[in-house]
Structure 1
Amino acid sequence: MERPHEELARLIAFSGYRNINAGTATRMGSLGVTPEAFFSLEPRALAAMTGLKPDYFSDSRRKEALDAGRREAEFVSRSNVRAIYHTDSGYPRRLAECSDAPAMLFTAGNSTTDYAHAVAIVGTRHATSYGAEFTRRLVEELADALDSIVIISGLAYGIDIAAHKAAISAGIPTGAVLAHGLNTIYPADHRDHARRIVADGGFIATEYRSIDSIHRGNFLARNRIVAGMADVTVVVESDLRGGAMATARIASAYNREVMAAPGRAFDPYSRGCNALIASHTASLIRDAADLIETAGWTPKPREGEQQSLDFELGEEQRGIIDFINANPGATVNDICTGIGIPYSRLSGILFEMEMDDILISLPGGRYGVTAKTR
């Protein structure tokens, strides 16, 4: 449902305000500071409600933010862009579990960003022929082995664009997370690839507005969205430092699976992957079978093979329902900790239970059981 222009402008302005993300927005909301209140109450009243200094809520700063929000709302309405607030049902459910997720996400292309299986593939901008071929084969094998899968990456040179191109070639959706607004594509060389991603049923996503400048820090911040939208993050090639290594660390901190492709000890762009494996931050990946086993996923039956009943899944579903009944509004992390199912497997089970109308997704990445299940 489309929001009124002024309501959308307030949400965009609030989401883009200094130091506000999904976590801080939720905490402010619990104190009575809604986006509407944020722009209507006096600075002293807001300071008293939140414990922050009145200067943070200065009239001039809030007016500037609201004016910018109105300009961005106009861009959204004329550009076929979706502005998804973190409490909206269309907000990516995996990302909603991350406390530092953006309060607002802007997307273009397919309105579906959630799939049963989500894999982020990242790596160096200086991909070797080995890295590009490894990426192509991995994506091709995943497409053959799994239903409802999306490949997430950052549209950068090297491994990122190899992952997107491999997904398009394999006929599965891919999502590109940008470090800038949707008014442009960087690098410019990848504009045609971005159009193809959208045309082939994928999506482009960003936390940045069209009026935001491109800064170096944006690219590091973007990595948390790549990691947050995926069950498993795969690092194909990387030196010891770089964006892919940061993405791996973030994914690990989110309690998501991290995997890395091994390489020769003295190859510069294998040193990071080898270090992730040696430190047990990442599991070693050779092919899609390794990933599927690590994630605890069930591959689709091969042609001519009869699908067997998965009684274990039924037990897991019952355990999830019992846990949510005992802990209404539980998050994925709550369920993961409470019943001990790995996040990568749990995420797919929850998705299937939603599709079967067993569970309902609530704002803030929480879950409840449907009336027919109670």
Structure 2
Amino acid sequence: MTKEQLLYTLALQHVPNIGAITAKKLINHCGSAEAVWKEKKHQLQKIDGIGTTMLSALKDTNHLKEAEDELKFIEDHQIIYHYFTDANYPEKLKHCIDSPILLFQAGNINLKKQRLISIVGTRKITVNGIAFCEKLVEELAPFNPVIVSGFAYGTDITAQKAAVKHNLQTVGCLAHGLNQIYPKVHKKYMKDIEANGGFLTDFWSSDVFDRNNFLKRNRIIAGLSEATIVIESAEKGGSLVTADIANSYNRDVFAVPGRVTDSMSIGCNNLIKFQKAHLLSTPLDIPLMLNWKLEEEKQPIIQKQLFVELDTEQKIIYNFLKDNGKELLDVIALKCDMPTFKIAGILLNMELKGVIRPLPGKLFEVV
């Protein structure tokens, strides 16, 4: 993208009455953001959904002047930017109708052919929530996922610190421009996160900090990821909005259940109750449900041998699959008289031992 093309794209992004969906419609119709600004008014009127207010805004040169200032900020601070049709634009975000036409980056982010999951939840995370979040990241570490969150208090920073601890790439999605950081107390974590990933935002350096920005930011958290995990949430909260957005994108959502008397479990319990999320009882549910395979170099070397040491429960499952062939997870749990949440961990351990393998559709068979 040339400097001039970036300028006109920034100007289009700056128009308050034109959101990402309409901006893309205009660009697709006219061919480029520059062509949108230079198109005659009567031609723009032919585009479905373009009314008088939008037409007036597109003839307001103040947006171009504001864009020049932001362009200078981008150049002076060597900000990396991603245009929504570029190859370097996050792949999963491309499929979201309301994804931003421009995304700004700080740090060392590489999302190509990566497993991305978002971990969100209350800012008032409990001791149990912290323990589960840290255990979740630790047990998923062999699968090398990218941990996406919002860099906020509580659940967000817990997940991102755990990602850094286990040398996983992590991405913080910000509700403000790259010229500031919120909360300020988290500034001490920025260097480590940028070394292990970085930050993404569609907000400008001139954007006024506003609480509504967090809700807008949440679509990027959900859109980047193949699955969103809610650790804890009150009856209402931003993480529930993120879960709803993820559902609207047809992405998987997981929620950690809690006691009905715990205020910070109400949101998660409701997600599960109303079938808006899978119940997440153990970290190993994630690779099982998402059909993740361990990377070849991280799989244990298993020598071919006649017998592999299995415990009692593993032998029951092995003998069942050997006698019945490939079977669904739920059928295995039913026939082997074991709870589904427990089966998930046992099957993964058996996979690591090389005695079974997962198949598409939550099927498993003996190797």
Same fold (TM over 0.5): yes
Partner of residue 202, structure 1: 197
Q: Deviations over 1:264-302 (max 9, x none)?
A: 111100111111111111111122210111112223454
Question: 1:115 deviation in Å?
Answer: 4.1
Which deviates further from its counterpart, 32-41 or 211-220? 32-41
8 Å CA contact retained: 1:177, 1:205: yes
Partner of residue 155, structure 1: 151
SS in 1 for 2:15: coil
Normalised by the length of structure 1, the TM-score is 0.77
Partner of residue 227, structure 2: 232
Mark the CA change 1:111 to 1:157 in structure 2 (over 3 Å): closer, same or farther: closer
Q: Deviations over 1:27-82 (max 9, x none)?
A: 22332263112222333332234562344233785311111111111111111211
Q: Deviations over 1:80-113 (max 9, x none)?
A: 2112110111111101100011111111112423
Question: How large is the RMSD of aligned CA atoms in angstroms?
Answer: 2.2
8 Å CA contact retained: 1:33, 1:49: no
8 Å CA contact retained: 1:21, 1:103: no
SS in 1 for 2:284: helix
Partner of residue 177, structure 2: 181
Partner of residue 78, structure 1: 76
Mark the CA change 1:84 to 1:306 in structure 2 (over 3 Å): closer, same or farther: farther
Amino acid aligned to 2:182 = Y
Q: What 5-or-longer segments of structure 1 have no aligned partner?
A: 308-340, 343-374
Distance 2:156 2:206 in 1: 25
Distance 1:223 1:135 in 2: 19
Mark the CA change 1:31 to 1:194 in structure 2 (over 3 Å): closer, same or farther: same
Number of residue-to-residue matches in the alignment = 305
Partner of residue 15, structure 1: 13
Mark the CA change 1:35 to 1:306 in structure 2 (over 3 Å): closer, same or farther: farther
Q: Deviations over 1:110-143 (max 9, x none)?
A: 2423443111000000011111111111001111
Partner of residue 305, structure 1: 302
Structure having the higher Rg: 2
**Mapping of residues 262-273 of structure 1, within 5 Å:** 262-273=257-268
Question: 1:14 deviation in Å?
Answer: 1.3
Q: What 5-or-longer segments of structure 2 have no aligned partner?
A: 305-359, 362-367
Partner of residue 254, structure 2: 259
**Mapping of residues 1-374 of structure 1, within 5 Å:** 3-32=1-30, 34-50=32-48, 52-58=50-56, 62-144=60-142, 146-147=143-144, 149-199=145-195, 201-300=196-295, 302-305=299-302
8 Å CA contact retained: 1:259, 1:282: yes
Identity over aligned residues, as a percent?
38
Higher RCO, 1 or 2 (CA under 8 Å, sep at least 6)?
1
8 Å CA contact retained: 1:20, 1:103: no
Which deviates further from its counterpart, 186-195 or 45-54? 45-54
